[in-house]
Every structure is written in C-alpha cells, then in structure tokens.
Amino acid sequence: MTRASPSVPICRMTADNPLLAPWTTPFGLPPFDTIRPEHFPDAFGQAMQAHLDEIAGIGADPAVPSFANTIEALQRSGRDLTRVQAVFSNLVVSQGGAALEALDRDWSPRLAQHGMRVALDPALFARVEALYARCEALGLAEDQRRLLERTHLGFIRSGAALDAAGKARMAAITERLAVLHTAFGQNVLHNEKTWSLPLAETDLDGLPDFARAGAAEAAAERGLPGYAITLARSLIEPFLTFSARRDLRQVAHAAWVARGTHPGAHDNRPLIPEILALRRERAQLLGYPGFAEFRLADSMAGSVEAAEGLLAEVWEPARRKAAAERDRLLAVARAEGLEGPLQPWDWRYYAEKVRRADYDLDETELKQYFVLENIQQAAFDTASRLFGLEFVPQPGLPAYHPDLRVYEVRDAGGHVGLFLADPYARPDKRSGAWMSSYRDQEAMDEAISPIVVNNNNFARATPTLLSFDDAETLFHEFGHALHGLLSRVRYPAQSGTSVRRDFVELPSQIYEHWIALPETLRRYARHHATGAPIPERLIERLLAARSFNQGFASVEYTGSALIDMALHRHPAPESLDIDAFERDFLARIGMPPEIGLRHRPAHFQHLFAGGGYAAGYYSYLWSEVLDADGFEAFETAGDPFEPAIAARLRQLLSAGDTRDPMQLYVAFRGRPPSTAALLRNRGLAA
C-alpha cells in the first residue's frame, strides 16, 4: 500500500511540470490529465534533493533533541517526494505501459538507495536514539509515544545501529532487492500481456453468456477475431469452471500456473534464490537467524511458531475436507465418463456440477443478479448505514483512464476524502485486486483528507456481471478503502493502513460479511435484464453452499502460506533449485495433486514483486481469525448494523497505528479473539 502526502507546492520547483507545481484540482486530486511519464525524472530528482536537505537540517539542529524538532520534523520531511512517488507507484500498476515500466526499472533502485540514505543517516539516528532513551521523561501523548517507539524501531530494523560496513551492505542489499522486485513483477505482467488462447465459436461449449461476452471483449481489446481467454483471473477462472472442452481447460490451466517460469529474459526462477538470500543476509546483519524470524518479530503473531501453529491448525482439517470434496467430484466425473485421476484443470469444472447437484445452485443463474454497478452501490450503502458516509460521483474530475470513477466521500461533518474506483482488467494493468492511496489522512499541521483507490480486474462486458466471489473481492478491497478514508490520526506515519501486516487485512475481511447478508442480497442482487430481486430460493442455496469447496480453497491458500514460510526459513536459499524445492515441499506436506498452490513461487507477487507479504502471507488467515470472531459481535447482537458495535468498529478503523493492534481489537470486541468462528465458517470445525 502506497503512501501519499498533501498536495502542497514543491519548493524551488517550476510550474511547467505538473508534478512540481501547486495542484489546483478540486480536493487535491492529482492533475492526471496533464501528467506524462517524462515529468517524473525531473520531479524525482528535485524532490529527493529537497528531502536530503531537510534531513541534513534536522541532523544539524544545534538544539537539544525534542519530539518537535526531531520526530515531528521527520514527519514533515519528504512531503514533496512522497507526493510524486505516490502518483508514480499508483500509475505504474494501474495505468502501466512501456514508458512507465522503463521508468520503474530505472528509478526503483534509486528510490531504494535514497530511502536507505535517510534511514542510515547517523546524525538523524543519534537524535532519535537520544529521544528514545528519554521516552519516559518526555510526557508524550499516547500516539506520540507510539510514534517515537515505532520510529526508533524502524531505524533499528533498517540497520541504523550497525557499523559502517554493515550499513553499507544493508544499503546495497536494499538497492538490489528493489531491482529484483521490479523485474519479478514486470516478468509476470509480460506473461499475462503476451499470452492468450484464441477461441472460435466451436470452442465455446459450456460457456455461459457472461463468459462468452468477456472473452469477446478480451479478443477485441487485443485485436483478435472472435473470442480469447487471457490470464486475467476474471476470465480464466470462469473458463476453467464452465468450459466443457477438457483439452482447452488443460491448455489454459497450464499457462496460468506457468507464469514466471518460461526460460529466457522473463523467467523469474533465477530471481527467487537471490531475493531469498539477500533477505536472509539482511536479517542476519540485524541479529536474526533468518528472514522469517525477522519479519515475525514485528507482527501480531510475534513468532514463526505462532504463525505456523495457526497454519497447522487449519492444514489437516482442510486436507480432510478437500479429500471428501475430491471423492464427491470424482463420483460425478466417473458418471460422465472421466477415466483416470482428477486433474487440477478438472476441479472447478466438476465442483460447479456438484454445486448444482447438491445445492441446486447454478453459478450461471446466480451471476445474472450480480451487476457491478449494483454491488458497488451496495458497498457504498453499507458504509452509509454503518458509518454515516455518503459517496457523491464527481464525473468532471481528471482521470488517468476512462475506466476510473471518482467519488467525494462525505459524512455529517462534511468532506471526508476521495474514493477512486478502477474496476476493469486491461493488458497493461497489474493483475489482482488492491487498495492504495494517493494521499493519506493526517492532522499534524492542518487537516489533510485522504485520497484512496480500489483496483479490481473484472472482465469488461455489457453489462459487467460478477460472481459471488467477485462481489466479495469488491467488498474486501472497499474495506481497505474505508480503513484509509476513516483514519483520524495526527501523524502521517500512523495513518489508515499503516499498521502491522497481520492486522491490515482485518478491516477488509470483516467487511466481506455484509455482502452475504440476506437483506443486502435482496436489495442489491437484481437481475441485469429485468431488475427483479434475486429469488429467496437462490439466497437460501447460496448461503447454504458457503462452506462448499472450502477444503479446496483452504488447501490452495494454506499451502501457499506454508511454502512462503518454508522459503523464508531455508538455511541456504542461494543454492535453491526452485522447481525441485516446490516439488519436494508439496510432497512433504501432502498437497493434493488435484489442487496445487494458489500462487506458485515464480508468480507469487505477494512475496517477490515486493517485500510486503514476504514471510507474511499467513496474515490473511490471522486476520480471518479476527474478522470471523469480530463479526460474531454483530451476530450475537442480532443486528449487523447495531450502532454501538458499528461505532466501536469505526474507532478501530480510525485509529491507524496509534495503538497496539491487539489493544485495538480487544477494545472493539471486549476480549481477545478465538479461532472457533474461523474454523466454523470454513466448515473445518470438528
């Protein structure tokens, strides 16, 4: 998740570059209509120098270190760079294109090097260290004390306390990792952009109308005749679910799981050992045995053992449930004439048949009621009922792409922020779904409102129809957006989603519960052609089937979390043969061959296109413990919009990183979390 700064004018900068001039756009929105790739090098160069000048000024201050002249001064520094970098990092993944990708390759190591110059500045660290030593005597407010403690810890974990040789090596590692992370992500994007499966009318057997429409749009977008399946999840998963052509399902699945593994310039397998080795070396420089221990030391879990214990608690029940699911699928497949074992490209196809048979639930019929615009409105209206928010379209504001929709967010007190929605897949856009920010809320010197963006990759069609999983994804990312929008903190470093990795998914995952409420479905799940509400029988069957196929889902996710931890605990990662390691690991944990990993290492962008989820992919499950347990508060009250509980949830969302996350959770829930609701929701309880 990116950070962003107020839209203040950049000092000593000229007006002919929109990144360097004051922004006069409403609400401080970046002037997307005037920003071009060639504007970034000059803006980065000037903003980086301005930041270094500010850091030098803090370090050279002759006054005794104080919270104001050191920590608050540090919070004010780098605003110019943060503003430029926020626009750049968001456009690279949302807009993409050859020019921005080239700039990303060029500037990612420079920006990493710049960050380490700040983090390893000896005069600055000396002041922070002196303040930290006097923390008890400073009389700080709770948020200030936590900011001082977390700032000091950040310097320590960046290597500021190392000797000169250690600092130099730490800087070199960070710079090299930035290069490798960028290359990894661009290699996956290259595979996704260049592969497609052309389809003729005779190849569409089994595909429902919405899947055919999506394939037609994808073909047109790529200049191909007829239809095409690409590696966008919103296209390939429906194809694997509905296509009666087993041969084509196999081709599509093979391409999907092979991303990042093609020999040549875009092969990610050689990058992984180097990334892992550099992370391990960095952790050892800081006194940890390995990277996983380093990462988990600053988490809610607190240790590798705690994270692995949670994964183990889920793994065996998930495997047992998946085995029962496989047997049921095989029974249907055998009746249809399938010989031999069930293959990974068969699972979704026969799972859909079983779902129809056992729950009388047809994904094709269900999808007719989930229109993108209606589900987005459901997310807005849920936030209105819970938190008193209003989302007002602003169609006249500048946008970086015609797909983008901009909304002003208001509450009873007036302006809250801006919400940007970018829902559709495009060839140059990064795959997946995510929330980010162009500007974070703060109130240190003045009230600064947030600007957040949700990116999804739904297959474009008219109308755009979502699966129920797609609808949950939209609500998930919108939960992240609310975390940013509802932030009410003083200091930018504590704003919104700037929390520990295994806490950041709580706001997103708990919000998913509201799309599954019968009252939400009755109001917003309406037939795309007639406008009729979804029939009660479909609601009943949908909710009855929610634990269906959860063995599969739990196995493919938990396996990915387990291999993440294993890779980051490997004692000699530089010598890894990643294909052999993956094969041996899956055999060791007993991965069902019909399922496989949700993310194979060579395209596991959570881990290797950046460091955010490295040795931290378990955090989705950790946060699911919190969200399942937390939503029980509403269930126990008998009202999913109970005002007092909603108010406590808003307090949790608004607090950012001003308090320890477990303290925030206990204040919301009244007690520590339990895993019981998680296991029950996934159908894994004994």
At residue 35, φ and ψ (nearest 5 deg) are -85, 130
The amino acid at residue 19 is L
Mean pLDDT of 312-318: 95
Domain annotation covers residue 10: no
**pLDDT (mean) for 584-595:** 97
Q: Are 395 and 512 within one domain?
A: yes
Model confidence at 8: pLDDT above 80: no
Does residue 567 sit within a domain? yes
For 391, the 3-state DSSP assignment is strand
How far apart, in whole angstroms, are the C-alpha atoms of residue 471 and residue 534? 15
**Cis link prior to 463 (omega < 30° from 0)?**
yes
Question: Is residue 291 one of the residues assigned to a domain?
Answer: yes
Residue 470 belongs to a domain = yes
Whether residue 337 lies inside any domain: the answer is: yes
Look up 472 and say whether it is catalytic.
no
- The CATH number of residue 519's host domain is 1.10.1370.40
For residue 120, give the amino acid letter.
L
pLDDT in the model for residue 685: 83
Question: What count of other Cβ atoms lies within 10 Å of the Cβ of residue 558?
Answer: 28
Mean pLDDT, rounded, for 630-634 = 97
> Is 664 part of a structural domain of the chain?
no
Kindly report, residue by residue over 78-92, the tens digit of the pLDDT.
999 999 999 999 999
Region of poorest pLDDT, from 184-193, 409-418, 458-467, 676-685: 676-685
Quick one: 503 and 392 in the same domain?
A: yes
Question: Looking at the structure, do residues 355 and 392 belong to the same domain, yes or no?
Answer: no
Residue 366 pLDDT > 60: yes
Residue labelled with tokens 């936590």:
146
Residue 568 and residue 615 in contact, taking contact as beta carbons nearer than 8 Å:
yes
What's phi and psi for 228, nearest 5 deg? -155, 145
Separation in Å, CA 76 to CA 56, 86, 135, 469, 489? 13, 16, 21, 41, 15
User: Distance (Å, rounded) from C-alpha 632 to C-alpha 634?
Assistant: 5
We report the CATH number of the domain holding residue 318 as 1.10.1370.10
Residue at a domain's end among 158, 185, 216: 158
Checking if the pLDDT of 11 tops 70, the result is no
Q: What is the dihedral of CA 28, 33, 34, 40, to 10 degrees?
A: 80
Q: What is the mean pLDDT of residues 63-67?
A: 98
For residue 495, pLDDT over 70 is answered with: yes
Asked if 89 contacts 152 with a C-beta cutoff of 8 angstroms, the reply is no
**CA quadruple 173, 179, 180, 181: dihedral positive or negative?**
positive
pLDDT reported for residue 1: 41
- Nearest alpha carbon to residue 325 among 542, 545, 541: 545
Q: Mark whether 397 and 470 lie in a shared domain.
A: yes
Q: How many domains does the chain have?
A: 4
Residue 389 structure tokens: 């928010």
pLDDT value at 12 more than 90: no
Q: Are residues 138 and 79 in the same domain?
A: yes
What confidence category does residue 14 fall into, taking pLDDT thresholds of 50, 70 and 90? low
Note whether 139 and 60 are same-domain residues.
Answer: yes
Q: What pLDDT band is residue 681 in, cutting at 50, 70 and 90? A: confident
Tokens (6 digits) for 375: 């589900």
Report pLDDT for 15: 57
b/e map 62-73, b = 16+ CB within 10 Å = eeebbbeebbbb
448 falls within a domain:
yes
Read off the DSSP letter of residue 442: B
Measured in whole angstroms, the distance separating CA 130 from the mean position of its chain's CA atoms is 36
Q: Kindly state whether residue 75 falls inside one of the protein's structural domains.
A: yes
pLDDT classification of 686: cutoffs 50, 70, 90 = confident
DSSP state for residue 81 in the 8-state scheme: H
Residues 352 and 381 in one domain: no
Question: What pTM value is reported for the model?
Answer: 0.93
Rounded Cα distance, 150 and 136, in Å: 15
Say which amino acid occupies 554: S
Helix (H) or strand (E) holding 185: helix 164-194
Task: Give the CATH number for residue 52.
Answer: 1.20.1050.40
b/e map 412-443, b = 16+ CB within 10 Å: eeeebbbbbbbbbbbbbbbbbbbbbbbbbbbe
Assess whether 211 and 306 both reside in one domain: no
Note the pLDDT tens digit of each residue in 370-417. 999 999 999 999 999 999 999 999 999 999 999 999 999 999 999 999
Residues 223 and 308 in one domain: no
Place of tokens 């939960």: 479
**pLDDT value, residue 147:** 98
Q: Which of 101, 192, 408, 477 is catalytic?
A: 477
* Per-residue pLDDT tens digits for 100-157: 999 999 999 999 999 999 999 999 999 999 999 999 999 999 999 999 999 999 999 9
For 567, residues 6+ apart whose C-beta sits below 8 A from its C-beta are 272, 276, 573, 576, 581, 601, 607
The neighbour count for residue 264, using CB atoms within 10 Å, is 6
Mean residue pLDDT of the chain comes to 95
Q: Are 470 and 234 in contact (CB under 8 A)?
A: yes
Position 411 scores a pLDDT of 98
Residues 355 and 380 in one domain: no
- Give the residue ranges of DSSP H helices in 388-457: none
In terms of residue numbers, what domain contains 227? 195-257
Average pLDDT over residues 456-476: 95
Task: Give me 394's structure tokens.
Answer: 């602003």
> Do residues 357 and 437 both lie within one domain?
no
- Residue linked to tokens 């977008």: 221
Same domain, 291 and 353: yes
- CA–CA dist 423, 376 (Å, integer): 10
